[in-house]
A and B are shown apart, each in its own frame.
Chain A
Amino acid sequence: MGKYNLQKILYVFSSLNDLGRVITSNGSMDEITRSALYLILGTVSSSQGTVFRYEPSYSRMVRIVQKGLDGAVDLSFPLADGDLHTLLHAPQVIEVDRRPDGIDDFPDKAVSHGMYGLSGIRPSVESDLSCGFAERAGTDVPGFIFMHREHLKSVHASLLAPLRVGDELVGLLSVGRRFSGGEYGEEDLQILSMMSQQLSVVLYNQQLFSRLQCKVEENRLLYENLRQIYRDTIQAFAVAIDAKDEYTQGHSVRVAQYALAIGDELGFSGDELEGLHFAGLLHDIGKITVDSSIIRKKSSLSEQEIVEIHRHPSVGYDILSSIKFPWGDLSALARHHHEKVDGQGYPDGIEGKDLPLEVRIITLADSFDAMTSDRPYRKQIDLGETIQEIKRCIGTQFDIDVCHALFRVLEKELTGEIASPKIIPSLSLKYDPQQILRILRGVGHPFEAVKDPG
């Protein structure tokens, strides 16, 4: 550093140190890039500079940060064929407006003049102006400057530093003329070379981050598609299950709706709630293996037929347990939807709180729909009677908290407190709302006295 005194060398080292600190700081990418540009300009003494980011998908340089360029209008410019190769192989710093003696019409006859790495060795060969730019193969820096002269003029480019990491172009740094006048010295070019390589890392990190964000978004969409496929498949299964019998038409859909309403009341949300909905749709999937004649039978079932129908929760479990649902394990919900809180249900006779809350919800939703719908062997039960029957079975068949939740939802739906009711509109029976409300608000809430066996 021939002309550099100790003070200036210290200043440059301090700037390099600051640049490292800025690059590794926690600021936003925009703030880091801007600080880096300011550091560079404040080190090589220029009032004007621009950082372009290379957008490979559009083959464009897009201006992301600038300083001292009021009125500069060119925000981006496209790269022509060969520009990428040129910028990848050009010297680390290109002097845009250096011209041989006698050439004044910059940049129409621009020449490049660079240095390589940190060696400080400047190529002695000036570009051959007689050689047509378009005809030059490989690294055609003069061609690049000529082609983009208007854009480079608009950002007052005096020095250019292609920003690259490995064999990837990530951007371009343009630095305006020297503030103090005169040409940049070789030392300035060396400093710019060092600092621009650090700036390349900033842009490369930005690019990596942006790619990562794209990948995350891509995966999110794929995952959402997958979930949609699951939803569609489950809906189709639900239709198939209910199609076994005209009496159970819509049963799975209604159970899913009721379970959703109760779960919502109990504070379920997001995936838990959606899982509950799909558990409702699939709870009877085991019935697809049960003979239709048994399901449709109007008279009492034989012992053999009862065994057969009691198999459907286990069969449902076997069908669903091999599927990894995004909402958790739905197979357990299919297996246990005929369990009772007193342990008298089937197939496993699990008691009270040992039954997952979701199971207790599906069990109640299933029974509520069974009671309020016509069945081959009986007509639907009146809504008031259904509520009384559920109250009667609290602590034996049903969980008290889940029943309370159902009653609260019914009350809220009847009084219009819930904007989008899910249970009342699905009921096919007639009822007197005031009578139902009286039952729900029954004096002393008789079901409160019932102890939860769990």
Chain B
Amino acid sequence: MGSFQVDIKFADDVAIFKTSGYINDLGGERIEKECEDVLREGYRKVIINLKDSPIINSIGISILIGITDRINKADGNLFFTNVTNSNAKVFDFMGLSKYAPIFQTVEDAVRHVSGKA
């Protein structure tokens, strides 16, 4: 896997992040920074698509916990999508999925956010 990247798209009032690369070192903090930026811009609904980030270690979990915490404190909503089965279990026992539900795809998450699900 090459260096870690974050692409951001916007669909109405939803910010959709797509990560590429392992989230297993401090490079993953870029998601946290980008997230702070969109919160500052007023977005409160954030989707993180982890399709191209199959490896997430405890540094990555720590970063995702930080993001979840931040969005919660800003009265926002965070959703994860395309999470591998093993990562979904980790999200579960680490308490992440309690505050940030997991959806199969970005479209599913967008439908949920826009109340069309």
Query: Would A15 and B65 count as touching, CB distance under 8 A?
Result: no
> Of B5-13, B38-46, B85-93, B101-109, which binds chain A?
B85-93
**A interface: dominant SS:** helix
Residues in A whose Cβ lies below 8 Å from that of B57: 14-15, 18, 39, 42
Q: How far is the CA of A14 from the CA of B61 in the complex (A)?
A: 13
Given contact pairs A15-B57, A18-B59, A47-B66, A179 touches B26 in the complex (Cβ within 8 A): no
Query: Would B90 and A67 count as touching, CB distance under 8 A?
Result: no
Residues in A whose Cβ lies below 8 Å from that of B95: 45, 178-181
Query: Would A7 and B89 count as touching, CB distance under 8 A?
Result: yes
Q: How far is the CA of A14 from the CA of B95 in the complex (A)?
A: 18
Q: Which of A8, A38, A40, A46 has the most CB of B within 10 A?
A: A38
Q: Would you give the shortest CB distance from A38 to chain B, in whole angstroms?
A: 4
Is A246 an interface residue, CB under 8 A from the partner? no
Is B48 an interface residue, CB under 8 A from the partner? no
**B interface: dominant SS:** helix
Q: How far is the CA of A100 from the CA of B96 in the complex (A)?
A: 29
Query: Would A35 and B59 count as touching, CB distance under 8 A?
Result: yes
A5, A41, A47: the one within 8 Å of B93 (CB): A5
Q: How far is the CA of A45 from the CA of B62 in the complex (A)?
A: 7
Query: Would A42 and B59 count as touching, CB distance under 8 A?
Result: yes
Is B63 an interface residue, CB under 8 A from the partner? yes
Q: How far is the CA of A179 from the CA of B62 in the complex (A)?
A: 10
Q: Would you give the shortest CB distance from B11 to chain A, in whole angstroms?
A: 28
Q: How far is the CA of A31 from the CA of B60 in the complex (A)?
A: 15
Is A92 an interface residue, CB under 8 A from the partner? no
Query: Would A14 and B93 count as touching, CB distance under 8 A?
Result: no
Q: How far is the CA of A67 from the CA of B29 in the complex (A)?
A: 11
Q: Would you give the shortest CB distance from B117 to chain A, in whole angstroms?
A: 25
Query: Would A38 and B26 count as touching, CB distance under 8 A?
Result: yes
Given contact pairs A35-B26, A68-B69, A180 touches B94 in the complex (Cβ within 8 A): yes
User: Which B residues from 53 to 90 make CB contacts under 8 A with A?
Assistant: 57-63, 65-66, 68-69, 86, 89-90
Query: Would A41 and B62 count as touching, CB distance under 8 A?
Result: yes
User: Which A residues from 94 to 145 make CB contacts under 8 A with B?
Assistant: none
Residues in B whose Cβ lies below 8 Å from that of A431: none
A5, A38, A40: the one within 8 Å of B63 (CB): A38
Q: Would you give the shortest CB distance from B85 to chain A, in whole angstroms?
A: 10
Query: Would B25 and A11 count as touching, CB distance under 8 A?
Result: no
* Bitwise interface map of A from 330 to 344 toward B, beta carbon under 8 Å scored 1, else 0: 000000000000000
Q: Would you give the shortest CB distance from B25 to chain A, in whole angstroms?
A: 7
CB-CB nearest in chain A for B64:
A42
CB-CB nearest in chain B for A25:
B25
Residues in B whose Cβ lies below 8 Å from that of A179: 65, 68-69, 94-96
Q: Would you give the shortest CB distance from A187 to chain B, in whole angstroms?
A: 11
CB-CB nearest in chain B for A176:
B69
Q: Would you give the shortest CB distance from A68 to chain B, in whole angstroms?
A: 6
Q: Which of B57, B69, B90 has the most CB of A within 10 A?
A: B57
Residues in A whose Cβ lies below 8 Å from that of B25: 35
Query: Would B58 and A34 count as touching, CB distance under 8 A?
Result: no
Query: Would A68 and B58 count as touching, CB distance under 8 A?
Result: no
Q: How far is the CA of A45 from the CA of B65 in the complex (A)?
A: 8
Q: How far is the CA of A35 from the CA of B93 in the complex (A)?
A: 21
Query: Would A47 and B58 count as touching, CB distance under 8 A?
Result: no
Is B98 an interface residue, CB under 8 A from the partner? yes
A15, A31, A180: the one within 8 Å of B58 (CB): A15
User: Which A residues from 1 to 60 make CB contacts under 8 A with B?
Assistant: 5, 7-8, 11, 14-15, 18, 31, 34-35, 38-43, 45-47
Q: How far is the CA of A125 from the CA of B96 in the complex (A)?
A: 35
Q: Which of B59, B65, B95, B98 has the most CB of A within 10 A?
A: B59
Residues in A whose Cβ lies below 8 Å from that of B89: 7
Q: How far is the CA of A8 from the CA of B98 in the complex (A)?
A: 17
Given contact pairs A11-B90, A181-B95, A41 touches B65 in the complex (Cβ within 8 A): yes
Is B20 an interface residue, CB under 8 A from the partner? no
Query: Would A47 and B94 count as touching, CB distance under 8 A?
Result: no
Query: Would A42 and B69 count as touching, CB distance under 8 A?
Result: no
Query: Would B62 and A67 count as touching, CB distance under 8 A?
Result: yes
Interface contacts beyond A38-B63, A39-B58: sample of 10 additional A-B pairs, CB < 8 Å, sorted by A: A11-B58, A11-B93, A14-B58, A18-B24, A18-B57, A38-B58, A42-B62, A47-B69, A179-B95, A180-B94
Interface pairs A-B: 9 shortest CB-CB: A180-B95, A42-B62, A42-B58, A42-B61, A47-B69, A15-B58, A38-B62, A38-B59, A41-B62
